């Protein structure tokens, strides 16, 4: 039998290695910037065109390369950073594998200009898919100027796999943010398609955080600082009340390197337990310094996964430092967490109904400041016809009962066990219920003599008596559902009517959010949003969807952008519409804690019961709960 094993040619080996190291334009940015940092640069400029597809350029003022080194740098396993395996355990540089440039040159066209400090002339080297095209002396600035053009030009499959520009750009920006954060002493600049998205001077870590993520964070950061023989930890945590439901800023760094470390992440979260709502996440920026001998960064080609020898003691040191930071802040005048954190318990809670009735809305954030809205304006846009008080609910209930209590298809198997609506006949609420003290106040809000068949409890639930028991409705969820159905209907028609805002609202976004917004602004204008980019971080909103008076359009817009950042970019139109509609509905819906007049309560129930599936929200949360007459009777046995 003939021998079949051959060594792969270098160009092929490099392409394979590139598959691991260079996954997308953001990986190129990471490798080039890390090289610039390793070269001792104090100023680094990143320039991209078409989200890195046509150009990624990194210009530094670091130590530069001689002409031989420039050539050598593109050989596989060529590195100036380690000499032997021992050195792996005392790394102080970002790079060491000597793979990045070889990999990049295998899948792109490279144009490098570099000159060591003090030299008279530099060198220019052009490489095309691993093949050196030319190398010539050239007058250039000290430092390195590396252009990587047409990434994956010779691997059409990889090129096709790139996501749309806004997504790749947002990945690049996230990578850039990490690099700039972990190197606060270096000047950084980021230019995309000729517009400057970031420019910041070397400074402290705190200043760098503000430069990157907005001055608004200034008042939100609590310093963390501890120094032990095993580890020093410096950085900041966000105040508990600034925890975010989405896109929390969470950064862990070790020895000047960004890292992913689920175990330490968990340590941080644990310190915030019971201080923030369970669906929210704290911001944190924590930088560890350890003896390089005690970590292993060589477990993954992207060098983001890091193994610590002293994981357990570091966990303890970390949690102690964070608790101390929170403690100092708590000692000052602040929030009484006991009060804001306690979930409200619904009034009626027969045992076997408990799983439904105490279900807590995970989107509820007790820290958010809700501005009470004009109660007259809650009810929605023009298509939200008023049916008026005293319309024939019995008939509506009949229709409702006739419908299966199965949730809409997207929620799958969730059913509502034990909900037997029997023969519902309206009776006077007062005859069936003695309201608790909170409800008493809302009963008092009824305008004189007005007849209503509902009462409001805790400014949160609407209760209504029926012949077979009591129906309890969560007011916020009910209104989300009603608004959602209207909005989704309008979006499906293609163009939601839009309403000009008298004084256009100016708001600011992070560069990554801006990139997404530019990308989806066309689709959004189909939904009634009109906005324009003002430059820098600022946008202005001139029209909003004419859907509900109560919607805070900027809040809704940001939540749409955030949803979009997390969704796959090629999600189908239907899903896009539902998620936009849900964002709008949530922002426009009456809140928990909002007092409703008798007319408003009746109107809401009326609208709700006319929907085909009134009992669950689009994301599967229970809206209506029944307490049967038998259950009531059982309470008094």
What are phi and psi for residue 182, nearest 5 degrees? -80, -10
Smallest separation, CB 305 to ligand ADP (Å): 17
**Which option in ligand ADP, Mg ion, none does residue 476 bind, with CB closer than 5 to 8 A by kind?**
none
> If binding is defined by CB under 6 A, does position 125 make contact with ligand ADP?
no
x/- contact string, 274-313, with ligand ADP (CB under 6 A)?
A: ----------------------------------------
Strands 43-49 and 187-192: parallel
Smallest separation, CB 38 to ligand ADP (Å): 6
Report the alpha-carbon distance of residue 135 to residue 71 in Å, rounded. Answer: 8
> If binding is defined by CB under 6 A, does position 112 make contact with ligand ADP?
no
* Nearer to ligand ADP (CB atom), residue 97 or residue 477: 97
Report the alpha-carbon distance of residue 114 to residue 528 in Å, rounded. Answer: 51
Lookup result for tokens 């095209």: 133
Binder among 57, 96, 111, 621 for ligand ADP (CB under 6 A):
96
Binder among 27, 31, 177, 511 for ligand ADP (CB under 6 A):
31
**Which option in Mg ion, ligand ADP, none does residue 617 bind, with CB closer than 5 to 8 A by kind?**
none
Question: What does the DSSP 8-state code read for residue 42?
Answer: S
> If binding is defined by CB under 6 A, does position 626 make contact with ligand ADP?
no
Instruction: Answer whether 270's CB lies under 8 Å from 278's CB.
Output: no
Question: How many residues form the binding site for ligand ADP (CB under 6 A)?
Answer: 23
Query: Which residue lies nearest Mg ion, judged by its C-beta?
Result: 95
Tokens of 60: 């530094």
* Nearer to Mg ion (CB atom), residue 22 or residue 488: 22
The burial of 587, by beta-carbon neighbours within 10 Å (0-12 exposed, 13-18 middle, 19 or more buried), is given as: buried
Lookup result for tokens 């501890």: 226
* Nearer to Mg ion (CB atom), residue 95 or residue 614: 95
What are phi and psi for residue 328, nearest 5 degrees? -55, -40
Smallest separation, CB 80 to ligand ADP (Å): 3
**Which option in ligand ADP, Mg ion, none does residue 96 bind, with CB closer than 5 to 8 A by kind?**
ligand ADP
Query: Which residue lies nearest ligand ADP, judged by its C-beta?
Result: 95
Instruction: Answer whether 209's CB lies under 8 Å from 285's CB.
Output: yes
What is the helix (H) or strand (E) element at residue 266, kind and residue range? helix 262-272
> If binding is defined by CB under 6 A, does position 468 make contact with ligand ADP?
no
What are phi and psi for residue 183, nearest 5 degrees? -125, 65
244 beta partners: 281
Q: Which of the stretches 59-67, 475-483, 526-534, 574-582 binds ligand ADP when contact is defined by CB under 6 A? A: 59-67
> If binding is defined by CB under 6 A, does position 188 make contact with ligand ADP?
no
Binder among 42, 43, 80, 525 for ligand ADP (CB under 6 A):
80
Smallest separation, CB 154 to ligand ADP (Å): 19
Smallest separation, CB 31 to Mg ion (Å): 5
Binder among 15, 18, 46, 60 for ligand ADP (CB under 6 A):
60
Q: Kindly compute the dihedral angle of the four CA atoms of residues 169, 175, 178, 181, in this order, to the nearest 10 degrees.
A: -60
> If binding is defined by CB under 5 A, does position 614 make contact with Mg ion?
no
> If binding is defined by CB under 6 A, does position 37 make contact with ligand ADP?
no
> If binding is defined by CB under 6 A, does position 63 make contact with ligand ADP?
yes
Instruction: Look at the alpha carbons of 529, 534, 539, 542 in this order and tell me if their dihedral is positive or negative.
Output: negative
* Nearer to Mg ion (CB atom), residue 94 or residue 627: 94
Where does residue 469 fall: left (phi above 0), alpha (psi -120 to 50 degrees), or beta otherwise? left
* Nearer to ligand ADP (CB atom), residue 277 or residue 301: 301
Site residues for Mg ion, 24-63, by CB under 5 A, read: 35
Report the alpha-carbon distance of residue 334 to residue 355 in Å, rounded. Answer: 34
Site residues for ligand ADP, 531-570, by CB under 6 A, read: none
Tokens of 309: 């020898």
Report the alpha-carbon distance of residue 278 to residue 259 in Å, rounded. Answer: 25
> If binding is defined by CB under 5 A, does position 102 make contact with Mg ion?
no
Q: Which of the stretches 99-107, 226-234, 325-333, 469-477 binds Mg ion when contact is defined by CB under 5 A? A: 99-107
Please tell me the number of Cα atoms within 13 Å of 459 on its side-chain side.
Answer: 13
> If binding is defined by CB under 5 A, does position 95 make contact with Mg ion?
yes
Smallest separation, CB 9 to Mg ion (Å): 23
Lookup result for tokens 């805790």: 458
Report the alpha-carbon distance of residue 196 to residue 48 in Å, rounded. Answer: 10
DSSP labels for 80-139? SS-SSGGGGGG--SS--SS-HHHHHHHHSEEEEEEE-TT-S-EEEEEEETTEEEEEEEE-
Smallest separation, CB 27 to Mg ion (Å): 11
> If binding is defined by CB under 6 A, does position 81 make contact with ligand ADP?
yes
Give me the residues that bind ligand ADP (CB under 6 A), please: 31, 35-36, 39, 60, 62-65, 73, 78-81, 95-102, 144
Give me the residues that bind Mg ion (CB under 5 A), please: 35, 95, 100
């Amino acid at each position: 039998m003939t021998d079949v094993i051959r060594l792969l040619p270098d160009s092929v080996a490099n392409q394979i290695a590139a598959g691991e190291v260079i996954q997308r334009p953001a990986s190129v940015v990471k490798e080039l910037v890390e090289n610039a940092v390793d070269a001792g640069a104090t100023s680094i400029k990143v320039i991209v065109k078409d989200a890195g597809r046509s150009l990624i350029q990194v210009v530094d003022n670091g130590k530069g390369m001689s002409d031989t080194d420039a050539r050598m740098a593109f050989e596989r396993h060529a590195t100036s950073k380690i000499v032997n395996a021992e050195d792996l355990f005392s790394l102080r540089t970002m790079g060491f594998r000597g793979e990045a440039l070889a990999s990049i040159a295998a899948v792109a066209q490279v144009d490098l200009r570099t000159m060591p400090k003090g030299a008279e002339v530099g060198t220019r080297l052009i490489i095309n898919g691993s093949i050196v095209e030319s190398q010539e002396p050239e007058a250039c600035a000290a430092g390195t100027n590396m252009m990587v053009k047409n990434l994956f030009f010779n691997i059409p499959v990889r090129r096709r796999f790139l996501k749309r520009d806004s997504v790749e750009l947002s990945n690049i920006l996230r990578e850039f943010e990490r690099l700039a954060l972990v190197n606060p002493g270096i000047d950084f600049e980021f230019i995309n398609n000729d517009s400057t998205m970031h420019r910041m001077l070397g400074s402290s870590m705190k200043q760098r955080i503000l430069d990157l993520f907005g001055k608004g964070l200034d008042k939100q950061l609590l310093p963390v600082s501890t120094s032990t023989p095993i580890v020093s930890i410096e950085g900041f945590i966000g105040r508990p009340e600034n925890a975010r439901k989405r896109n929390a800023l969470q950064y862990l760094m070790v020895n000047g390197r960004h890292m992913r470390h689920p175990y330490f992440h968990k340590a941080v979260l644990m310190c915030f337990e019971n201080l923030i709502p369970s669906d929210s996440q704290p911001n944190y920026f924590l930088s560890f310094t350890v003896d390089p001998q005690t970590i292993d960064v060589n477990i993954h080609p992207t060098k983001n996964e890091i193994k610590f020898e002293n994981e357990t003691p570091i966990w303890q040191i970390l949690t102690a430092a964070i608790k101390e930071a929170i403690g100092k802040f708590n000692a000052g005048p602040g929030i009484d967490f006991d009060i804001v954190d306690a979930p409200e318990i619904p009034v009626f809670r027969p045992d076997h109904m408990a799983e439904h009735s105490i279900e807590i809305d995970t989107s509820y954030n007790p820290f958010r400041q809700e501005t009470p809205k004009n109660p007259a304006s809650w009810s929605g846009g023009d298509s939200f016809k008023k049916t008026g008080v005293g319309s024939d609910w019995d008939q509506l209930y009949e229709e409702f009962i006739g419908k299966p209590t199965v949730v809409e298809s997207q929620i799958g198997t969730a059913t509502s066990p034990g909900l037997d609506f029997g023969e519902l006949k309206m009776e006077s609420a007062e005859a069936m219920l003695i309201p608790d003290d909170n409800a008493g106040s809302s009963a008092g809000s009824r305008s004189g003599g007005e007849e209503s068949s509902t009462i409001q409890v805790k400014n949160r639930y609407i209760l209504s008596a029926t012949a077979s028991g009591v129906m309890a409705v969560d007011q916020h969820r009910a209104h989300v559902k009603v608004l959602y159905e209207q909005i989704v209907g309008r979006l499906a028609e293609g163009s939601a009517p839009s309403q000009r805002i008298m004084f256009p609202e100016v708001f600011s976004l992070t560069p990554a959010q801006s990139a997404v917004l530019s990308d989806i602004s066309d689709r959004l204008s189909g939904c009634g949003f009109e906005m324009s980019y003002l430059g820098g971080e600022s946008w202005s909103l001139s029209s909003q969807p004419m859907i509900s008076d109560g919607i805070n359009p900027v809040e809704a817009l940001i939540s749409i952008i955030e949803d979009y950042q997390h969704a796959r970019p090629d999600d189908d139109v239907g899903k896009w519409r539902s998620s936009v509609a849900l964002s709008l509905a949530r922002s426009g819906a009456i809140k928990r804690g909002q007092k409703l007049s008798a007319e408003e309560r009746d109107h809401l129930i009326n609208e709700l019961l006319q929907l085909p599936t009134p009992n669950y929200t689009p994301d599967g949360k229970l809206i209506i709960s029944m307490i049967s007459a038998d259950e009531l009777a059982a309470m008094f046995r």
